[in-house]
């Protein structure tokens, strides 16, 4: 099989501000909901916080040098809203903006294209105290923040992503309560999902007004590859319900300017959707240039009773997620690259004119440095190879896939798991911050250099 990817294929890696930056209270940065959540006893394993994380704020040059060594063509990072706009509002912090200006300059000097994500879950705490994402005002403030960031960096950053995984922000943060801000209210989760969609649309409009015309604007969704447990009407309907609240709640407003009728019907006992105002869906469906897709594993869905609390609003009493045998990562997520192919082909069929980027894909394993200081991670290499092969197969099947961003460059603060889960291709010794490329980093560098998969 020809294992080469198309000429110009983008090879990147991705990180998130709160997971790597540290410097939580430096240069004017104010708390985000993740600062508050991680400092609340019992919320994060071992009481870990992102106060230091991997100290990327002070080790930017070292980290960009690692990216250059790997041969990355692109680097996807997120900005901390609280660092750019302390308290979430103007005036902007020049020290905060200078950090991102310096990062972008380092990337460009290294020949790496910067890809900026405006929101990776770290809402300024002040906005949560005023109601958070369930409130319309948060979406309006987000558009203002987008304009500030674009005005500061738009001359050097050509690719912008509004939101990363709004499903997680809405349903893990406001429905299941396992992510910040830790609320368990299905109505709040549905309101948050709509206002995140609105924030995206308003931000795209704000970015278009500031950025040069060639700028590439995107949204990143963690779309769910769903399969029925059994081929029965009940299990197929369970898949439909999860698809409505997991996928189509974002895809249909963003690309078609409408809410899914079955979603509205499924959630009628929770909300009447009166928080959707005239003109909202037109704003949400402001055109973008590319869709980012985050994929880690598929989900098998059956009819039954949901776990409590469930992140799947409107599915209570109808849906369960049975355990399926097979290999799993340290996150207990199944390893199945076919789900990535299935998802990309679905998007080819449903959104034939929308280019795609895989903006996150990777795996956590229990890595450690051996006595010689090396980190061997054959399971991760096998995972990456299988998923890149699935992506290559999707391109052969007509999917307009433009690039692949591996999650993640560095071991980091893994949200509610603290520092206990390692996704990086670069090992981080958290007490010292020492970086050690793993075997997977060298393997990925070879993939980039070949623009394709190496022989086994």
Active-site residue list: 165, 360
State the virtual CA torsion across 309, 315, 320, 321 in degrees, nearest 10.
-80
Q: Find tokens 């960009």 and name the residue.
A: 64
| Pairing label, strands 299-303, 319-320 | antiparallel
- C-alpha 199/C-alpha 244 separation (Å) is 20
DSSP-derived letter for residue 65 is: H
Q: With beta carbons less than 8 A apart as the criterion, state whether 100 and 84 touch.
A: yes
Q: Phi and psi at residue 404, in whole multiples of 5°? A: -140, 125
Contacts (Cβ under 8 Å, ≥6 apart) of 210: 147, 150, 151, 154
> Token pair of 170, please?
């809405």
Tell me which long-range contacts 63-69 makes (C-beta under 8 A, separation of at least 24): 63/409, 63/410, 63/435, 64/103, 64/106, 64/107, 64/110, 64/112, 65/110, 66/409, 66/426, 66/435, 66/437, 67/13, 67/107, 67/110, 67/112, 67/409, 68/110, 68/111, 68/112, 69/437, 69/445
């Amino acid at each position: 099989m020809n294992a080469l990817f198309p000429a110009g294929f983008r090879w990147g890696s991705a990180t998130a501000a709160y997971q790597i930056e540290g410097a939580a209270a430096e240069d004017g940065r104010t708390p985000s909901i993740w600062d508050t959540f991680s400092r609340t006893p019992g919320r994060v394993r071992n009481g870990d916080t992102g106060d230091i994380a991997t100290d990327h704020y002070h080790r930017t040059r070292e980290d960009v040098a690692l990216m250059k060594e790997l041969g990355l063509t692109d680097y996807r990072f997120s900005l901390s809203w609280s660092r750019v706009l302390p308290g979430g509002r103007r005036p902007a912090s020049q020290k905060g903006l200078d950090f991102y200006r310096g990062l972008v300059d380092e990337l460009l000097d290294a020949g790496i294209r910067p890809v900026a994500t405006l929101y990776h879950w770290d809402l300024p705490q002040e906005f949560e105290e005023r109601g958070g994402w369930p409130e319309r005002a948060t979406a309006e403030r987000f558009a203002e923040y987008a304009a500030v960031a674009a005005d500061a960096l738009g001359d050097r950053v050509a690719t912008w992503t509004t939101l990363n995984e709004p499903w997680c922000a809405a349903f893990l943060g406001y429905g299941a309560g396992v992510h910040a801000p830790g609320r368990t209210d299905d109505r709040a989760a549905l309101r948050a999902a709509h206002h995140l969609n609105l924030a995206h649309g308003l931000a795209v409009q704000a970015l278009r007004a500031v950025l040069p015309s060639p700028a590439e604007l995107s949204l990143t969704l963690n779309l769910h590859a769903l399969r029925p447990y059994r081929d029965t009407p009940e299990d197929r309907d369970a898949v439909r319900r999860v698809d409505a609240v997991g996928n189509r709640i974002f895809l249909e407003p963003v690309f078609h300017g409408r809410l899914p009728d079955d979603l509205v019907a499924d959630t009628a006992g929770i909300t009447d959707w009166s928080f959707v105002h005239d003109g909202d869906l037109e704003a949400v469906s402001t055109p973008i240039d590319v869709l980012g897709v985050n994929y880690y594993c598929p989900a098998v869905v059956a009819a039954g009773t949901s776990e409590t609390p469930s992140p799947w609003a409107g599915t209570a009493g109808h849906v369960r997620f049975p355990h399926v045998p097979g290999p799993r990562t340290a996150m207990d997520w199944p390893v199945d690259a076919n789900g990535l192919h299935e998802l990309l082909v679905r998007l080819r069929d449903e959104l034939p004119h929308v280019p795609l980027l895989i903006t996150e894909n990777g795996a956590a394993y229990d890595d450690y440095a051996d006595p010689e200081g090396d980190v061997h991670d054959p399971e991760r290499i096998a995972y990456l190879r299988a998923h890149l092969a699935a992506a290559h197969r999707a391109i052969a099947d007509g999917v307009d896939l433009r690039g692949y961003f591996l999650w993640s460059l560095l071991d980091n603060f893994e949200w509610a798991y603290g520092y206990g889960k390692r996704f990086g291709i670069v090992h981080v010794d958290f007490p010292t911050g020492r970086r050690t490329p793993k075997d997977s980093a060298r393997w990925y560098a070879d993939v980039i250099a070949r623009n394709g998969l190496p022989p086994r």
